[in-house]
Homo-oligomer: A and B are copies of this chain.
Amino acid sequence: MGTVGKAISLLELFTVAEPELGLSDLARRSGFDKATTRRLLVALTRHGFVEQDAATRHYRLGAGLSRLARIREARFPFLRTAVPLVRDLASATAETVHLSEFGIDRLVTVHVEHPARANRVNIDIGQLLPLHSTASGIAYLAFARDEAVKACLAGLLEAFTAHTLTEPAAISRSMAEARERGYSICDQGLEEGVISVAAAILAADGFALGTIAVAAPKARTTTADITQRGLAVMATAREISMRLNGDNLQSLRRQA
């Protein structure tokens, strides 16, 4: 792993659950020597990607990252466009709705609206979602470029639960069903007791760039719920796609 990759992998250790980490902790989790870790952190700090708390000496993600993300968002207003619609869908369904963007060969969770219920599906911002075993992943693949699909099916298809699809043929079928229906359904593919529906958000070229999903405890989900949420998530995905791309969105490969 090159030096740049090492530095970034340190950044990727920070999570919503653990936004601050110490030097020894970062070294241990990354597998790098403490001296190496320290040097990488100094370089990241010098460019504002990491900050060190003056009192605790712990490290955390820095303003330089936020700045670049804001620049990106200014030109590609994915969050600004989608978040209000995610919020609306969460209100309408009273379940967890999460928005993901494709990156690093997985889906990156960029926004979550949790319902005000104790029994709900919890997802963290920043959480990475595998493609083969999530509703979001299947919805994405259904409208992804062939290379992305091939890369996914050629990789490790980990079985997270007994329900996870791990055969390429089965995953392809699931993708075809998602294309047909306009949304995907995932029954406990990533976690026991959770059922989700998702739809792809398309870029101007007609290929998927992200997804929106509704996740709920299976115990309180009926077949009618699934259909209703599926149609709702599909409509929301379409709305987000249209707002992002307007008249540029190519009709080819458009959702049915």
Contact = CB atoms under 8 A, between A and B. Distances in A.
Interface of A: 2-5, 7-9, 11-12, 14-16, 19, 40, 43-44, 46-49, 51, 54-55, 60-76, 78-79, 101-104, 108-111, 124-126, 145, 205
Nearest to A112: B74
B63 A66 contact: no
B72 A40 contact: no
Contacts of A4: 3-4, 7, 40, 43-44, 47
A5 B46 contact: yes
A12 B47 contact: yes
18 contacts: A8-B47, A11-B68, A19-B71, A19-B72, A46-B104, A48-B103, A62-B72, A63-B102, A63-B104, A63-B108, A63-B110, A64-B104, A65-B68, A66-B73, A66-B78, A67-B101, A67-B109, A71-B126
Nearest to A70: B125
A16 B48 contact: no
Contacts of A79: 66
Given A2-B43, A8-B49, A68-B14, A63 B126 contact: no
A16 B75 contact: yes
Contacts of A109: 67
B65 A69 contact: yes
